[in-house]
Chains A and B, each alone.
Chain A
Amino acid sequence: MSEFILEMQHITKEFSGVKALDDVNFKVKKGEIHALCGENGAGKSTLMNILSAVYPFGEYAGEIHYKGELCKFHNIKDSEHKGIVIIHQELALSPYLSIAENVFLGNEVTGVKGVINWTQTQKRAQEMLEKVGLGGENVGVPVNTLGVGKQQLIEIAKAMAKEVDLLILDEPTAALNDEESRQLLDIMKQLKHQGITCIMISHKLNEVSYVADSITVIRDGKTIETLNKERDDFSEDRIIKGMVGRELTNRYPKRDCEISDTILEVENWNVYHPEDAGRQIIKDVNFHVKAGEVVGFAGLMGAGRTELAMSIFGGSYGQKISGNIKINGKEIDVKSVKSAIKNKIAYVSEDRKTYGLVLIDDVKRNMTMAALSEYFSNKGVVDQNKEILESEKYTKLINIKANSVAQTVGSLSGGNQQKVVLAKWMMTQPDILILDEPTRGIDVGAKYEIYCVINELAQSGKAIVIISSEMPEIIGICDRAYVISEGSIAGELAKGELTQEKIMKCIVSHNGKEKDEWKAKRRT
């Protein structure tokens, strides 16, 4: 047997005449972690979908050799029988079923006549959990009680239960914070020692260079190069060069703008959990943003940043909200989203598919959704001509790639969808823009374009708040950042002080303080 566990040769795949993959060759060595990099739409997912038989044999040209034999997979079960398991970006867990049930979902431990053997299920689930570092978890609890990071690990345990030899992970850390990501990557390294081969698709290049043994770069449906850890330069800049075909010297465009008066001030902001009035989510938060300033909200996932933003945005989150919001020094009352929009606040939500877009609707109707009654209505009748003109204007302005403004949003790429959400809020002509994870899950090129839009907005005198879990992003584009931890502000860092170490230090020391206070409270 050769040193390669998998060889995909001359793979070509067309979607209605358009070549998504063009003569791709991809080889993976036994027992390595092989990263697959490329911009969105480069063809990474398509290639993996061919391997895991989401696109079965016959729908593509080329050959797959796995463990030395030519494979013709007709469905996902075929490839799983051979030990190839794919974990998709969206988790495939059933939220109200227990960990054990999820680990053996579709692969149940059965006795005679298909009756599930629960004792065995629980016992074996426990074994699988230990392999992925979750030995301490109770296999009987529903998975929705766990955090996203742990849920991702449950997915891996599920793959282990299928006796996986080749594990494919599509953006495994997209929804995880740094700490959880690190944990997952370490688990991947452990799996490697157990002899499992991993293919990982990721946009997070720092993680790729940390964990991978080889990197294959795909661009426009073609394999560009394969880098080897022992032989080649594994730096992020090197990988990006392969991905975009040129050197992207500065990932964060320069901004040159004047920071002037304070526009937004939030004072003594307190918010309680929407379903549990006793649980305080946001504690005494104070912050301000000036015109032309880009302010970051750094912190770990679950720190309360989204909850803070949404509670300010017309009380979209939480209950018993108290505190003051001042705009241009004047205190205002923002009771509903509508009044927030009237007061020139815009909130570009995280997770565009769930909270931002109507995917079945077209570009123009999505763009005008928030501004409709304010700017496109004539006594309640929609001015459809103006709607077309304005949405075409914004399409050009921020370079959205769509056939026309009548194209369905669901058929656009992630980066372009994000731009549509941005355009939607730009149309409301806000003074204050809160952007929640504006570049999650989109590629380097599209990120750069979004940063440019942010810069232009700041230059036109708008106050901008960026919530991001990617610290380099906060450091790269913000003038100032608040570090948020456990619902309160753990620190404020000016441009000069913004480093990953400082941000982490703020979080850690704040957590320590919280615990001490809590202990002190218990003692008294």
Chain B
Amino acid sequence: MKRRSLLLLPAALAASALLASACGRQDDSLTVVRQRGSLRVALDPSFPPFEMLAGEGSLQGLDVELAQLISAQLGLDLDLRSISFDGLYDALAAGETDVIASALPYDPLRTQDVRYSDPYFEDGVVLIAPPGSSGDDLNAMNGSLAVEIGSEASLLTRQAAEGVTILQFTSEPEVLAAVWTGKAGHGLANKVSACLYRRDGTSLTIVRQVSRTPYCLALRAQDASLGQAVSDALRQVLAGDAWKQAKTRWLGDGC
């Protein structure tokens, strides 16, 4: 078996060279990054708790720690770049960054140009209930459902069954407070908002996720070798204690 593999090696190398040549570009993305010694990671620090500016102007947040863990896993220095969200994909295309790590949702319409990692977090709308509740069927609920006027969650109330009273509030904190105090039987809110509310000392129940927005890392589609290395590093990071601790620190337990 081993001998056969060795015999096939020259043919495989020739085939891959031919493929690289046919594609018109040799993928040396991992080599380039290793020679540079640093991984360039772009983010827009306006989206807590994933990325934000600390008081003294330094970058912090869950994505910042994720980038630190991945670059350490790869044995590279981390070169964080602050770029406006609108310019992140252009920066990637123009070679101004190697990776985007900015609470970036997977976008199936960009996969011709962009290589996404596996999701490392799922944001979205969650169904919440007062402490100790466990009711998990929105349609079967008998009672009231709190939502913020005009929010994404308010559009989902159309799925609610007849007989459910929709309670409208002018801000998301009011929704969270109404559910926590039992003024509303259930509520719909952004997942991270609910996580942060729990982290801050309430025992609000997150019953289940109603909509899903997966956050991924993004690289250039043609950077296959770097993409593979980053994906491997991400998998190892997500399985490790350091990531779990970072997640708990930024989002609280159970998020």
Whether chains A and B associate is no
